């Protein structure tokens, strides 16, 4: 069960309203690398988790991410505080309001549609979607997903810090960025505390394909590194000559009943593109001067 | 530039049509952990990449994933081959067709809307979306995302193998699953070949928050492990007492102009929910017997 | 700031696993009328709210909805507990697993893609989207939206109760349903404690159109009631004769520069569908026997 | 059956093209509070409705909203009329066209992708989705949803009026805004003409939870009002001590077969994050200077 | 302006409720090839259209498609009429209701979430999206899109007719299918009445690339037909040898300032995946038995 | 199977970085008329295709479109090359970076979220969705869809050419535009090489409705042309008088069991909006001065 205390985890001091900056910062409120995505990623994992250590850790971090959602949302709310009142009370001229809403970013939609409140969209106004969440219910995968997600969130905070010169905003973003680093460390520990975590799952790979590197892109720029060269790798350079790798005919086939075959034959005959004719086409009808 | 050879990378031999199984397997064609997501994740990274080794590797693997998209799509096409002809030619009774399309999974939509062709949806019919792609243009993040994505794809293949008893399908899925293991290895090598990859990015974290563990979820079930205990961690258990962590007042504030303040005051006054009255409400009007 | 206690707000006792029922109940986990939508609707309102009473109420209820998200997610996790282990360990035959996943609802995707964990989708597998949230930052609107949302959530719980005969599930759903009733009451009180809440906003309507009822649908079935008849209403029955209601010409016009007019004329001339000819078309080319 | 008359319900007189303003106004064409959402909300309700009075009212208002969609779409078309011709005929320099399309809002996409025609997107270019429609097929809910939707649409019109100084646009928006007020009145009458409309549905709430207020958010800012205080409310302040409210153990449980338990145990053992070790992790490998 | 008459354009006589069939038929209510997509495709075109003949035709057909939306929605409403009452009144046992909702298709969501009303989703429950609409504001394109859309809608109706043995449903679907044929004819006439409609737009293609066929897929199965062979085509078979077709170096380049170059160099150096080392990786740490 | 060569199909020479232009050009990378949509439209068709000529053509063109995706993505990458380094290395002031990211278009999101890499979104930042793909598995439909799609892509390229004065960008866009013309020709040939392609499918239309034109939109502006007049058309002008066209009663009906009827009656009685009363409503409670 969740409870809430009205203090923020980190104090938010914004120097002055700036709806364009607000719209950039939405990236971490309702964007793919933002705090709702983080909270929901870990919370959904926690609900299905049976390992006591991981379950506790996932609940701890999910809960903290909700508190970060509150911090980042409060920054957005402060940055939009000016436009909120102006749009509701309309004491400025229309032209002034129009100008203040069309200076850049996605601030126009934040004002007109959301009235200056923080909306669960990214910086382009795209509504948050659970398609951002990659939880699949296997810990050796989900922890890797969490590690990657924390790394991404760290960088988006870094970019926001780089474009902001409001000292209070910068400071709060720095705190949030640092917490992603700490969370990544926790998830790393939990992953490697699974003593047999690679490959994930129970099935082992088929040996002949597990150390094969397919050099599918060739030409100037072909390069070597530990990811495709060295004793552990078998490398396939004659890619076309080497298919199919299973030694079969490289076709797709299926066993069909006579009735299924008959239907498919009828369909094929009825819809054949006859290669032997050169039909007059709509494009030809549509060319200037065609009759 | 891409080229194509009509042989598949792995031969597809399906024993008989099965549109329900086809709809399950769509998960790896147009689902979030599927082959299009993989190909596009690596391809978008490759286009912006300036590191020659990684660029080559990303192009190699992106290209191979397109070939896997072809293999998995061919399996789906074979499994739907029966319904494709039956629906087009309608030589069966309506009741038989109705039954064959409503046996489970998402096979009804695959037949009615897509005519038995493999559609870029997941197993529930949700259209593929680029929201699945988590590329952010930083190699220390993107490689971690790739490692996690390969791990997830491996597990979804494992689950599909576990529910399929068609030997040819099982074999092709086993090949595809193994290739995800190999790709994960390549991405791991490329990540750790970045000699300073943690934390990602250029900014370091703020020391006092980088080793802090916030025990935000408490009660029976609280646990310890290397992710929150040991010499590297400072642990915050008095979570409420400890906020805000920065020692400020834990509020959000913004500097406003007099005019902005005035508008906000007017708005507040006009829309105050007066705590001192007990208004009659719509719910009360709506109760049975209310007059 | 949020904190979490590991006890649920309401004890969840599920009699036996049932992945199909799990997929139905997802409607209230990741569906449009579900608990995440509720929590986020109130939380986003709270962040921008300046009225102290409403802000407190919105935070109270948002926080409770997160606890409900945990209860409903725990029900789903329990109902999927069987399939979770079976799919990971694969100790059953493939055919048994296939059957258990294709019995109905969206259980196949819940198993294959999410591994039996509760996913933020509705009962059809559609990922949760912030498009479900109708917060617009005006309290006289947002409270009405909240009232309606609580009413809808109440009914979806009622329907789920009606299809479930698992006593423990039924009991927990009954608790959750009742809390929606209580929340609706709170929102009603807060709305009507705004002493001037209709029409919402600052601008009054134009008197001649504010009590007009347009009888736009006519024919057998035309009916009268307090919504369109009685002293308060002026009713327009000659709908076509009555347009435009402003007495203008009913056209759309815009002032254009000479250059803009010239471009539009060129475009129009270049792309005119000439009414004076009867062209041969692609459809005619494509008719059987056309030459 | 629908019919159409070429006159608009309200005459549209736009003073001059302005693609940025056009993109703001799209909010009411293809946005969540816009006219298509309104029309489809009422139309889908009407189709399933068996109450003759409501069915007629819903069809009347749905039809009128389609006429409003036409008015608002005509405003957008007029505001985009300049860019439409310029982009098609390209008689200006590229630099002039580039400038006219990148002045703000979402006008660039409206020009490049939609050629200046009104597109069913909101002001950020997000395509309209039926996820905006909250119809659930219960009149005591759907009418409340309609009331709230009309209130929201009223405010979005008010905001658009506040940012526009084109007199003709302002006038037409004022008409549309007023009609939302009138529609809200009709829906209010229809709701309260259901003599027992609260709580919606057939099931009553469980008495002990129906008047309970959970003070889930605490700290400075806690407030009282008719929504949580007074004789009708029982208030729970010791939130953590009070869970679970049912007096159970606050855990989630499910009855499992022996085989299910066995699979889960195997899975748990195989994937345990061992709390007793302090593993070396990827993050440690990736730190600068790590070997 | 739209008006509505309560008679349907075609009488709907459904023999008995069938929620599974209802969910299949939703394909033409809220699916990509359905009637809302058709109505909105033509309506958005009409609003921006300046050609009087096409504008009238587009309004005629858009309006008729709304009437078809009503017919198809009425079929769905009738097929769901049984479940609507049962779910609301709950006079059956829970088990009976559960069974009736989980027989296949997407009927469970239609019942639980939408209460048996027709929802703007496809047959898988995917909400309708304006992403289905391909209007771009050029008549030579939009008419081609309309022709294709009518063809697709015709086929989806044909498939639905093939799976339905309810005579009344079949008859109404037959009417709707036929109207798509008639609409396609109208759009064909309007397209070819543009006397110079190919290529669409004002710019001509670059001659050397306009008749080139790139044989990008090779191997067994290479075929010839009028689409790639004959006097009008120049064919490129040596695809790799022939790139880049412009005779340049086939690379991508951009002019950068010194400062931009410097930043990119720093970034590259900082994040180089060093090809000369063979780093120990997370995957190696995670292998069973790794220390 | 796909292979890749590192040379581009067309050399990309960009004069200088321009993130705003980059965001416009994204329309053809991840937008609805862009190259991924094209590639996936043809590739999904190819997988299910049994006609050897079409299968080969679809694979050829799908593969070439992937090469075009690479060209257009490379243009975007070059245009964003400046911001990529600046944001990662942060050697400029925050204010300079802020300015460079908020100059227009969607460049702010491209920088902050995607780090300057080409993302699979359109020019407004909307993620690519498979909802753009209209493949339905019938060649007489799919080829028409392809023809229309090529026409639309041609026009979007034309518009981009019209707003760009970078010579290298213009040249590459001209090449890509021309290829769409060539592809349209191929698809036209393949369509008309189906000797009986209209109407698509196997079922013929009902004669009395196949040549009927419904004049559903009336009033000033009614027009005639070959699409609604001439010997081939029967025209219905008395639209309201003429419904239902089948001579039935124009109602929707369904056969119900006694139990279903009883439930519906109970539901109707319970939720009747009583037309005979004039209830006091929430709107009246909410009016200023209401008691």
Q: Tens digit of pLDDT for each residue in F96-137?
A: 999 988 988 899 999 999 999 999 999 999 999 999 999 999
What are C93's two structure tokens? 């035959």
CB pairs under 8 A between C and D: 391
Name subunits touching B (3+ CB pairs < 8 A).
Answer: A, C, D, E, F
**Which residues, 6+ apart, have CB-to-CB distance to D270 below 8 Å?**
A196, A202
Nearest neighbour of A273 by CB, restricted to F95, F108, F190: F190
E150 in a labelled binding site: yes
pLDDT digits (tens, 9 = 90+) for A210-257: 999 999 999 999 999 999 999 999 999 999 998 899 989 999 999 999
pLDDT of residue B291: 47
Burial (CB count within 10 angstroms: exposed 0-12, middle 13-18, buried 19+), residue E291: exposed
Q: Where are the domains of chain F?
A: 19-192, 207-218+226-242
Q: Do B286 and D226 touch (CB under 8 A)?
A: no
CB < 8 Å to C226, chain F? 275, 277-279
How is residue B31 annotated by DSSP? S
pLDDT of residue C291: 47
**Residue bearing tokens 């009742």:** C178
pLDDT of residue A100: 86
Q: F124 CB near a chain D CB, below 8 Å? A: yes
- Supply the angle between the helices F139-163 and E139-163 in degrees, to the nearest 10: 150
What are E245's two structure tokens? 């077709």
- Mean pLDDT for D189-196 is 96
Confidence of residue D291 (pLDDT cuts 50, 70, 90): very low
Q: Do D192 and B285 touch (CB under 8 A)?
A: yes
CA D100, distance to chain mean position in Å, is 31
Rounded Cα distance between E49 and A94, Å, is 30
Nearest neighbour of D53 by CB, restricted to F27, F273, F279: F273
pLDDT digits (tens, 9 = 90+) for D67-105: 999 999 999 999 999 999 999 999 989 999 999 889 888
Rounded Cα distance between A63 and A47, Å, is 13
Q: Do A113 and D31 touch (CB under 8 A)?
A: yes
Residue D275 has pLDDT above 90, yes or no: yes
Residue B162 has pLDDT above 90, yes or no: yes
Q: What's the Rg (C-alpha) of chain F?
A: 28
pLDDT digits (tens, 9 = 90+) for A127-157: 999 999 999 999 999 999 999 999 999 999 9
Return the percentage of chain A with pLDDT > 70, whole number. Answer: 99
Task: Report D:52-111 residues touching C (Cβ under 8 A).
Answer: 52-53, 55-57, 59-64, 67, 74-75, 77-79, 81-82, 84-86, 88-89, 91-92
Q: Do E3 and D114 touch (CB under 8 A)?
A: no
Burial (CB count within 10 angstroms: exposed 0-12, middle 13-18, buried 19+), residue F3: buried
- Mean pLDDT for D141-156 is 98
F150 in a labelled binding site: yes
pTM of the model: 0.97
Nearest neighbour of D136 by CB, restricted to C33, C57, C253: C33
Of C54, C46, C51, C233, the C-alpha closest to C135 is: C46
D35 in a labelled binding site: yes
CA dihedral in degrees (A109, A112, A116, A122; nearest 10)? -20
Name subunits touching C (3+ CB pairs < 8 A).
Answer: A, B, D, E, F
- Which regions in chain C score pLDDT beneath 50? 291
Domain D19-192: which CATH number of 3.40.50.300, 1.20.1260.10, 3.50.50.60, 3.30.1280.10: 1.20.1260.10
Nearest neighbour of A197 by CB, restricted to E198, E279, E286: E286
In this structure, how many other beta carbons lie within 10 angstroms of the beta carbon of residue A44?
28
E122 in a labelled binding site: no
Rounded Cα distance between E116 and F217, Å, is 32
Q: Which H, E and C letters describe D246-285, residue by residue?
A: CCCCCCEEECCCHHHHHHHHHHHHHCCECCCCCCCCHHHH
Q: Do E155 and F138 touch (CB under 8 A)?
A: yes
CB < 8 Å to F124, chain D? 106, 108-109, 121, 124-126
Give the three-state DSSP class for D28.
helix
Residue A207 has pLDDT above 60, yes or no: yes
pLDDT of residue A289: 61
Return the percentage of chain D with pLDDT > 90, whole number. Answer: 92
CB < 8 Å to D286, chain B? 140, 191-192, 194, 196-198
Cis peptide before E273, with omega less than 30 degrees from 0?
A: no
In this structure, how many other beta carbons lie within 10 angstroms of the beta carbon of residue A274?
16
Residue B30 has pLDDT above 90, yes or no: yes
pLDDT digits (tens, 9 = 90+) for F58-97: 999 999 999 999 999 999 999 999 999 999 999 989 999 9
pLDDT digits (tens, 9 = 90+) for B227-242: 999 999 999 999 999 8
Give the three-state DSSP class for F197.
coil
Binding-site residues from annotation of C for Mn(2+): 35, 65, 68, 150, 183
Of B184, B165, A162, E199, the C-alpha closest to F84 is: A162
Q: Do B226 and D277 touch (CB under 8 A)?
A: yes
Strand F2-5 versus strand B2-5 pairing type? antiparallel
F224 in a labelled binding site: no
Query: Which uninterrupted H or E stretch holds E128?
Result: none
In chain D, the N- to C-terminal Cα span, in Å, equals: 76
CA A194, distance to chain mean position in Å, is 26
**A98 within 8 A of D16, measured Cβ to Cβ:** no
Q: What's the Rg (C-alpha) of chain A?
A: 28
E56 in a labelled binding site: yes
Rounded Cα distance between B289 and B272, Å, is 30
Of D154, D197, B124, C90, the C-alpha closest to F281 is: D197
Choose, out of A56, A109, A124, A203, the residue to mutate when testing the contact with D (most D CBs < 10 Å).
A109
CB < 8 Å to B165, chain C? 93-95, 98
Q: How many CA atoms are closer than 13 Å to the CA of E103, on its beta-carbon side? A: 17
Q: C129 CB near a chain B CB, below 8 Å? A: no
Q: Do E194 and C24 touch (CB under 8 A)?
A: no
- Work out the minimum CA distance from E268 to partner chain D, whole angstroms: 16
Q: Do A48 and C90 touch (CB under 8 A)?
A: no
Rounded Cα distance between C42 and C69, Å, is 14
pLDDT digits (tens, 9 = 90+) for E182-206: 999 999 999 999 999 999 999 999 9
- The CA–CA distances, whole Å, from E28 to A191, E117, E127 equal 48, 15, 13
Q: Do E216 and F61 touch (CB under 8 A)?
A: yes
Confidence of residue F287 (pLDDT cuts 50, 70, 90): confident
- Mean pLDDT for E165-181 is 97
Task: Report C:270-289 residues touching D (Cβ under 8 A).
Answer: none
Choose, out of B3, B112, B197, the residue to mutate when testing the contact with E (most E CBs < 10 Å).
B112
**Which residues, 6+ apart, have CB-to-CB distance to B78 below 8 Å?**
A252, A253, A254, B12, B14, B17
**B41 within 8 A of B133, measured Cβ to Cβ:** yes
CB pairs under 8 A between B and D: 59
Of F164, F106, F140, F127, the C-alpha closest to F29 is: F127
**D125 within 8 A of F126, measured Cβ to Cβ:** yes
Q: Do A130 and C129 touch (CB under 8 A)?
A: yes
Nearest neighbour of A47 by CB, restricted to C7, C77, C133: C77
pLDDT digits (tens, 9 = 90+) for E266-283: 999 999 999 999 999 999
Q: Do C220 and E51 touch (CB under 8 A)?
A: no
Nearest neighbour of A226 by CB, restricted to B189, B224, B240: B189
């Amino acid at each position: 069960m969740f409870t809430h205390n009205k203090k923020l985890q980190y104090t938010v001091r914004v120097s002055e309203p700036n709806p364009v900056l607000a719209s950039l910062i939405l990236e971490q409120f309702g964007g793919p690398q933002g705090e709702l995505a983080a909270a929901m990623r870990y919370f959904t994992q926690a609900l299905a988790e049976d390992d006591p250590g991981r379950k506790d850790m996932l609940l701890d971090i999910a809960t903290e991410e909700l508190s970060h959602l509150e911090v980042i949302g409060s920054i957005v709310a402060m940055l939009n505080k000016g436009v909120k009142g102006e749009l509701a009370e309309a004491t400025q001229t229309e032209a002034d309001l129009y100008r203040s809403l069309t200076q850049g970013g996605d601030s126009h939609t934040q004002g007109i549609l959301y009235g200056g409140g923080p909306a669960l969209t990214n910086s382009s106004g795209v509504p948050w979607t659970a398609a951002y969440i990659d939880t699949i219910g296997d810990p050796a995968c989900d922890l890797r997903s969490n590690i990657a997600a924390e790394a991404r969130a760290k960088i988006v905070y870094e970019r926001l810090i780089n474009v902001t010169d409001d000292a209070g905003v910068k400071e709060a973003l720095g705190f949030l960025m640092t917490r992603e680093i700490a969370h990544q460390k926790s998830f790393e520990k939990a992953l490697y505390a699974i003593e047999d975590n690679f490959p994930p799952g129970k099935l082992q790979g088929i040996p002949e394909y597990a150390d094969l590197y397919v050099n599918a892109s060739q030409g100037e720029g072909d390069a070597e590194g530990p990811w495709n060269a060295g004793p552990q790798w078998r490398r396939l350079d004659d890619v076309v000559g080497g298919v199919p790798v299973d030694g079969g005919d490289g076709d797709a086939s299926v066993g069909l009943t006579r009735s299924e075959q008959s239907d498919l034959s009828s369909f094929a005959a009825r819809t054949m593109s006859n290669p032997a004719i050169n039909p007059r086409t709509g494009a030809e009808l549509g060319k200037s001067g065609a009759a």
